[in-house]
Chain A
Amino acid sequence: MNVPAVAAVVAAVALSLVGLLIAWRAWRGGRRRVPAAVAVLCAWGASTGLWISAFGAEIGTALAFESGSLLALAFLLTRSERQPARAVRERPPPQAMAGKRPARRWRAVAYCLLAGPLAFVAALSLGLLVALEAPFQEQTRLIVGGLAVPSLWAAMIVATIALRRPGVTTLAFVLATGAAAAVVLGR
């Protein structure tokens, strides 16, 4: 690294720390949160700009996030609150609830199938729609469509388990898959 790059890195780290300190003071004080948020964003934005100036947009942006995360965690460790040790008090076991339905294994299996292969096929179908129809250049369409699949699958897994409405999620997945099939067959 040359001297200007080293200077940029030092300044970027310092600005990240300044942003953290402002955020911490605002958090501790509990007042004037909006001006503090603006100041924090400015400091972190300037820090990212310095990382980019030293290493280019691709590497600089990644380094800004990674160094920022590490600095924040190191700062948190210095601010941790030590509390007096407390033994865990165990409560007596709760009474079994009368009339409570026993857990059904088939339900768990159904959710696994829904969040696993069915959600994957639906995510793949939506990715296919992007790959075929998005207004990008050919390679970009294919790759962005492919890259979208894991994120869509992850979101569908969360939705399936959080909603707990297997009928609704199955219908949504079937619709997504059907739409993609219609587009592929219609070409």
Chain B
Amino acid sequence: MPLSSPIPGSFTKAVLGAHQWLGIVFAALIYLVCVSGTLSVLADEFAQWEAPSAPRVNSAAAGLYARVAAAAFAEARAGGADHDLFVFGPTPELPWLRVFALGEHDGPGAPVELEWLADAEGRLQAPPRTPWTRFLRDHHYHLHLPAPYGAWAVGAVGTLLLASLLSGLLAHRRIFRDAFRLRRGGSRRVSLADLHNRIGVWALPFHLIVSLTGSLLGLAGLIVMLLALAAYQGDQDRAVAALLGPQPGSDHAAAPLPETVPMLREIERSTPGATITSVVFQHVGTAGQLVSIATAEPRHLARNERWTFDGQGNFLAKAGFTDGSVGMRIYGMLQPLHFGTYGGIGLKLIYVALGLGMCLVVATGPMLWLARRRGQGRPLPAAERLWTALVWGQLPAYAAAALVALLAGTADHVLPLAVYWAVTLGTALLAVRGRDEWRCGHRLRVGGGLLLAGLACGHALSWPAGLPAARVVNGLLLVAGIALVVGVSRRRVRAWRPE
């Protein structure tokens, strides 16, 4: 571990310039995606927290899947949504048996979509009301932009984060010399730099994995299809088949719903310990229909190993996410690695902690630049206030959106979306018109903390016999709220205040 860096100073300076430029120009977008991503790790728990009275199904046997599929197919046919049918099985994190039906996409409008939640007996019930969780997911997956541009935009943000990480790593000349140095309380610039660099370096494997997989997931639809089309001279069917396996036939003659019990039994026999995560019927009820069954196998990251059967129940192909080619195995790992869905609630909490670290790295980058400018006698007070409002304004924005969604009792995610943006933009506007960055940050932290604690208490009082997931969420909200309110000491904040 040599102390003097072998990297030339001019190179470091150039890369540091690129790191600063990227951080300053795109920090706000990257920060919004990082915050929504950190919260999205707990999306399953938030969904149960929002809909605590939804029917729970701890495990589903082969017969239950068949009963639910038959009931949903009848309902879907009556509702004109009988093109594809999706049955998502319960998991330890989300013990719900969810069913979706999709109509044919043949006109200019969106296809008909129906949704249910099945109970342990296979009876279909109304879908759970989870507007805030849906808003959160949509915010992270596509920033509420129309498909597919929203996903591409989020993928591009992931690439920018990856570029920031690479440039930050290359620009860090004292990576070993400062490996354990974390100074607090002295010069604000030094404290921020230590926090930014230490979290950035020690959590680098996580940050790289999450930014790379996020970028890939967002851009995969665009990139892989473009490459496949170029490789197959524009033959889209061959390209799709090469990556996604057998596709449903074009024979639309009516046919009975396939018997899924023998298929599920065959999978259980061939891969002991595997759990069914979904059963999907493509072109359901037609002669060309296919059944795709996804499984999660022990000791594998992929949660969606796909087994495809034809309408007569004959096995056609296995996608190979667990035992196929290297490429397919890597492809199968992307989503679990990004969202931390392979290790239960313990791993999710690790992801949340490391995700908060990533948010801190992104938040402290522009703070550091602004503090440096102030030290050089070139302060940007409006930008300081604006950035503080954006960073700390996320807490009250998400908390207020959740509170309004719970109080309104609506299933529509537009209301939490409107509240979120109203609070985010409102705090930014107030900050620009305000005078003091420190007071702004202080008030937002206290306000956000009080809202979080109030949300937890209100929820616990409304549903006293809460589910385990709801108790985890309430506990986290309460701890975060109290920590924010108690931790913000005016005296400590004033110590850093410019004179």
> Which A positions have Cβ atoms within 8 angstroms of B?
23-24, 26-28, 33-34, 37, 55-59, 62-63, 65-70, 72-73, 76-77, 79-94, 124, 127-128, 131-132, 136-147, 149-151, 153-155, 157-158, 161-164, 184, 187
Of A57, A68, A94, A154, which one neighbours B166 at CB under 8 angstroms?
A154
Of B163, B209, B228, B498, which one neighbours A87 at CB under 8 angstroms?
B498
Complex CA gap A63/B376 in Å reads: 43
Decide: B1 and A56 in contact? CB cutoff 8 A. no
5 additional A-B residue pairs with CB within 8 Å, beyond A90-B374, A94-B377, A132-B230: A27-B176, A70-B350, A146-B223, A150-B215, A154-B166
Decide: A67 and B350 in contact? CB cutoff 8 A. yes
B243 interface residue per 8 A CB criterion: yes
Provide the residues of chain A in CB contact with B182, threshold 8 Å.
76-77, 79-81
Decide: B379 and A85 in contact? CB cutoff 8 A. no
7 A-B interface contacts by CB (under 8 A):
A27-B176, A58-B299, A85-B186, A91-B376, A144-B327, A154-B163, A157-B18
Complex CA gap A153/B206 in Å reads: 20
Give B499's nearest chain A residue, CB to CB: A87
Of A56, A63, A141, A144, which one neighbours B300 at CB under 8 angstroms?
A56
Q: A58-B299, A131-B230, A145-B227 are in contact. Are A73 and B357 (CB under 8 A)?
A: yes
Q: Smallest CB–CB gap between A98 and chain B, Å?
A: 17
Complex CA gap A136/B351 in Å reads: 33
Of B22, B216, B371, which one neighbours A150 at CB under 8 angstroms?
B216
B17 interface residue per 8 A CB criterion: yes
CB-contacts of B318-339 with A (<8 A): 320, 324-328, 330-331, 333, 337
Decide: A164 and B242 in contact? CB cutoff 8 A. no
Give A26's nearest chain B residue, CB to CB: B1
Tell me the interface secondary structure of chain A in the complex.
helix
Decide: A142 and B224 in contact? CB cutoff 8 A. yes
Provide the residues of chain B in CB contact with A73, threshold 8 Å.
198-199, 202-203, 353-354, 357
Interface centre among B167, B212, B497, B499 (most CB of A within 10 A): B167
Provide the residues of chain B in CB contact with A76, threshold 8 Å.
180, 182, 198, 202
Q: A161-B22, A162-B167 are in contact. Are A81 and B183 (CB under 8 A)?
A: yes
Complex CA gap A184/B215 in Å reads: 25
B463 interface residue per 8 A CB criterion: no
Provide the residues of chain B in CB contact with A187, threshold 8 Å.
233
Interface centre among A65, A67, A85, A132 (most CB of B within 10 A): A85
B181 interface residue per 8 A CB criterion: yes
Complex CA gap A64/B226 in Å reads: 35
Decide: A127 and B227 in contact? CB cutoff 8 A. yes
Decide: B224 and A136 in contact? CB cutoff 8 A. no
Provide the residues of chain A in CB contact with B180, threshold 8 Å.
23-24, 27-28, 76, 79
Q: Smallest CB–CB gap between A65 and chain B, Å?
A: 4
Give A184's nearest chain B residue, CB to CB: B230
Decide: A144 and B330 in contact? CB cutoff 8 A. yes
Q: A83-B185, A90-B379 are in contact. Are A128 and B333 (CB under 8 A)?
A: no
Interface size on B, residues (CB 8 A): 86
B479 interface residue per 8 A CB criterion: no
- Tally inter-chain residue pairs, CB-CB below 8 A: 231
Q: A91-B376, A144-B330, A146-B220 are in contact. Are A84 and B299 (CB under 8 A)?
A: no
Give A138's nearest chain B residue, CB to CB: B242
Decide: A147 and B243 in contact? CB cutoff 8 A. no
Q: A87-B499, A158-B18 are in contact. Are A27 and B328 (CB under 8 A)?
A: no
Decide: A59 and B202 in contact? CB cutoff 8 A. no
Decide: A59 and B299 in contact? CB cutoff 8 A. yes
Give the 4 A-B CB pairs with smallest separation, nearest first.
Answer: A56-B299, A83-B186, A140-B327, A143-B327
Decide: A157 and B375 in contact? CB cutoff 8 A. no
Complex CA gap A8/B200 in Å reads: 28
Give A127's nearest chain B residue, CB to CB: B227
Stretch at the interface among B75-83, B153-161, B444-452, B469-477: B153-161
B455 interface residue per 8 A CB criterion: no
Decide: A161 and B17 in contact? CB cutoff 8 A. yes
Complex CA gap A184/B287 in Å reads: 38
Give A68's nearest chain B residue, CB to CB: B205
Provide the residues of chain B in CB contact with A92, threshold 8 Å.
377
Decide: A137 and B325 in contact? CB cutoff 8 A. yes
